Structure 1
Amino acid sequence: MHHMDLFPVDTPVTPAVAELIRTGVRAVLDAPPEWIAELNSAATSGAGMEGVAGDSPLLEVALRINAGNLSHWAAVNMVEPGARVPVAITEEARAYIRDLARRGFDSRALDSFRTAQNVAWRLWMQICFGLTDDPELLRELLEVTSTSIARFIDDTVRELAELIETARAELAADTHAQRRAAVALVLEGAPITAERAESQLRYRLDGPHTALVLVGDPGTPPEDLEATCESIMEASGVTRRLVVISGASELWVWLPTATVAADDAVSAHPGVRVAIGSAGEARDGFRTSHFQALTVRRLLGRPRSSRRVARYEQVRLVALLGEDRAAADEFVTSTLGELKGADVQVLECVRAWFAAGCRVSETAAVLYTHRNTVLRRLARADALLPVPVRENPVHVAVALELLDWIV
């Protein structure tokens, strides 16, 4: 709640106090240099002002704005003592706010108004105590001016805070739009120079790249995508990245590394799927890895898919053979026959047997089961296949991959 919500309804200022306010305002306008120096010192000592205080041009503008606000408050009170002073946002103040946003500052940089207010109030009280010895007049004088000053600072800081947050949001949107445009040009192979692209992307195009596409399941909070990305970066030993928001629940990511570790990160965020392209070099690698990641993303998006992370190396053959969906379906059906609808344990056993180089003992070890169980399941698979697996191993292995990914 702002101070203004706590103040009582305005009451008329008595003529005697109004004249005291005018007299005090004249003293403010004729303040000695040491008072101005103390106010300036207070204005630059706020918690969010460190960066401003160290930037001479920016500091000069900040002090001019503070001085202008003081003059504005004084001018209004000369005409209407004790009145609620309207906020006066000058064009210089608006430019200052935009400059703060461009330099990464947020509303904490407005602390200067609060710290300067404290010093200004102390100096104003010194003036007030020199104006009258009448306790009733002094009480009214302090109450009226305290309310006027606090309201003016509250209103000013609130309006400037809204301006700076708006400027930050607009800047972020502009930066993201530029980044998306630069990424699109690179992906399209447009003749954009490396210097211009890297400037807009804030990401180097030389060296290794691995592209990822992070997708959230329906209902997954967007921050889970960001958290997953950060976990992958940490596990992969990288601190830089390029991120483009592709949709409400999809991120395109590039990491400057040829080795990406994603399994643990995905297990910690079960609502996120991660598609990973092959590592590539320079601009061509940047493009190729991304298109590969998009291919994996399409396969991961299958309604029946339970996979949370997959790499292009795992799906290269499936991507090549699965372009014609009807042909792929026909190939799987004719090759596997009744095995296509077999129990999942039988299908898993045959896949593990192929992965183990068609060795039964190694298959049993991978599946944590007895070799006789493996033999029984392989026999069951042979009984369901149109042709025994050992007579047609390549076709059966490919058909099982297609079945697992796209059919």
Structure 2
Amino acid sequence: MTGSAARTASFDQVSVLAGTLLGRVDELADRLLETLPHDSHAANNSAGLPRHEVRRCCEDNLDSLLRILGNGEPVGGHLYDTARQTGRLRAEQQVPLDTVLSTYRLGGRVLWEALVDLAKRDDGIDRDSLLDLASTVWAMIDSVSAEVAGAYHRAEMELLRTDEQRRFALVDDLLANRAEDPSVVRAAANVLDLPVDADYVVVTAATADDGRPSLRTPGDMLAIRGIRSIWQQRSENLTGLVVVHQPAMTGLMMLLDRIARGPVGISPRVRGLAEVATGYRLALLALRTVNTGATMVANLDDRLQEALLVQSPELAGRLVQVALGPLLELPAREQEMLLETLRAWLEANCSASSTADRLYCHRNTVLNRLHRLEDLLLVPMHDPRGQVQLRLALAAYDLR
């Protein structure tokens, strides 16, 4: 017999054996179900799969395997649909892929044993034919398992995308002040695994032109230190909801300082998920108090005067013009020297001696410059109200 004729005969024999076993699928499904190890049952049970559903799946897949064998179905054909459906369904049910593939291997063994038992009763099937049969069965199991795994991974990716979209939508609901609806808060707490009534701060980090946020992997860095947080990239910033406890606030600021590479804003502490939208608005306000390109973590409570100024840009501009206008009309070199002196004097609590130490010059030099500022600005330098105005004007000038 030629090789081609032998292969044809071998296929005909496999087809006949598979057709015979199609009438015994119920029996084979029972045998496979009994063969499944305890941990496989446990995995199916943890996914909430009743025994009758597991058995029905075994029956459907054994039927499909026998039809593939009997028809010589090419890989990817429609008879593989059952395997693909099983892979997708088990991914949705969160049954581990190893468990699913292990069941297919056991199914292959059940089929092989049944085929051998039939073949032994057939005088027309010799030892070489049995070897061909083994090769055919296990090649089919491998190809079917590949289809199952492919469908499983595709479904898994779809589920991840869907889950990520839901998480994004829930965070967006919280930040957009839709948390007045208790169902939104409950859903966010369950899906995001966040406490409803804990204290939170909202952190928002600017995104650079190259797409990098101003904080490097903040979620991982906080998790290492036992701080729970959720982070989401929005259109222009990376925003985080951070669960805080009283001792953790200082440590949080220190950590963010270490991983910052651009402007970052932090809200005051807010109570519960329902107040996160308020925290987000305040974090954005804190972020606006940092100059573009600067690397700084701005806690709103430490920058309230700057926050007031950025909230009223027209008034801030007018303040600069009224308080510092004559100074800003000077030549650049003299302007810079007097601005430096004014800033150092205010930071030194209006002490001429301390200002001289800061600027590495003589006290009389500082006094002369202060007299020059008084003449220019028409503000008594030791008037408390005038000092407040000058401080605010300098802050507004820096923000500008």
* TM-score, normalised by the number of residues in structure 1: 0.72
Indicate the SS of the match to 1:253: strand
> Which of these residues, 152, 160, 163, is aligned with residue 160 of structure 1?
152
User: Counterpart of 2:81?
Assistant: 88
> Which of these residues, 40, 44, 54, is aligned with residue 44 of structure 1?
40
Kindly state the Cα deviation for residue 278 of structure 1 after the two structures are TM-superposed.
1.7
Kindly state the Cα deviation for residue 113 of structure 1 after the two structures are TM-superposed.
3.0
User: Counterpart of 1:4?
Assistant: none
> Which of these residues, 206, 212, 224, is aligned with residue 215 of structure 1?
206
> Which of these residues, 143, 149, 153, is aligned with residue 135 of structure 2?
143
Indicate the SS of the match to 2:203: strand
C-alpha change, 1:260 and 1:15, in structure 2 (3 Å) is: farther
Aligned mates of 1:60, 1:177 — CA distance in 2: 37
Indicate the SS of the match to 2:303: helix
Matching of residue 329 in structure 1 with residue 321 in structure 2: no
Aligned mates of 2:278, 2:354 — CA distance in 1: 36
Indicate the SS of the match to 2:209: coil
> Which of these residues, 164, 184, 195, is aligned with residue 197 of structure 1?
184
Aligned mates of 2:149, 2:172 — CA distance in 1: 34
> Which of these residues, 16, 28, 45, is aligned with residue 31 of structure 1?
28
Kindly state the Cα deviation for residue 310 of structure 1 after the two structures are TM-superposed.
0.3
Contact 2:33–2:55 (CA under 8 A) maintained in structure 1: no
Indicate the SS of the match to 1:57: coil
Over residues 287-319 of structure 1, what are the superposed CA-to-partner deviations in whole Å (9 max), with x where a residue is unaligned? 43332112112233x43x514210112332223
User: Counterpart of 1:319?
Assistant: 307
C-alpha change, 1:118 and 1:93, in structure 2 (3 Å) is: closer
Kindly state the Cα deviation for residue 199 of structure 1 after the two structures are TM-superposed.
0.9
Deviates more, 1:334-343 or 1:392-401: 334-343
User: Counterpart of 2:106?
Assistant: 119
C-alpha change, 1:91 and 1:77, in structure 2 (3 Å) is: closer
User: Counterpart of 1:289?
Assistant: 279
Over residues 214-260 of structure 1, what are the superposed CA-to-partner deviations in whole Å (9 max), with x where a residue is unaligned? 222222446x857224435666x632x45454326432525344635
Indicate the SS of the match to 1:212: strand
* TM-score, normalised by the number of residues in structure 2: 0.73
C-alpha change, 1:59 and 1:288, in structure 2 (3 Å) is: same
Indicate the SS of the match to 2:14: helix
Contact 1:275–1:294 (CA under 8 A) maintained in structure 2: yes
C-alpha change, 1:20 and 1:186, in structure 2 (3 Å) is: closer
The residue type equivalent to 1:206 in the other structure is D
User: Counterpart of 2:263?
Assistant: 273
C-alpha change, 1:297 and 1:370, in structure 2 (3 Å) is: closer
Contact 2:260–2:295 (CA under 8 A) maintained in structure 1: no
Kindly state the Cα deviation for residue 60 of structure 1 after the two structures are TM-superposed.
5.5
Kindly state the Cα deviation for residue 165 of structure 1 after the two structures are TM-superposed.
1.9
C-alpha change, 1:178 and 1:327, in structure 2 (3 Å) is: closer
Contact 1:208–1:282 (CA under 8 A) maintained in structure 2: yes
Kindly state the Cα deviation for residue 270 of structure 1 after the two structures are TM-superposed.
4.0
User: Counterpart of 1:393?
Assistant: 387
Kindly state the Cα deviation for residue 283 of structure 1 after the two structures are TM-superposed.
6.8
- Rg larger for: 2
Aligned mates of 1:32, 1:21 — CA distance in 2: 20
Aligned mates of 1:227, 1:60 — CA distance in 2: 47
Indicate the SS of the match to 1:210: strand
The residue type equivalent to 2:151 in the other structure is E
Matching of residue 238 in structure 1 with residue 231 in structure 2: no
Contact 1:180–1:244 (CA under 8 A) maintained in structure 2: no
Matching of residue 253 in structure 1 with residue 241 in structure 2: yes
The residue type equivalent to 2:99 in the other structure is S
C-alpha change, 1:230 and 1:83, in structure 2 (3 Å) is: closer
Deviates more, 1:129-138 or 1:313-322: 129-138
The residue type equivalent to 1:400 in the other structure is L
The residue type equivalent to 2:13 in the other structure is E
Deviates more, 1:374-383 or 1:285-294: 374-383
Indicate the SS of the match to 1:206: coil
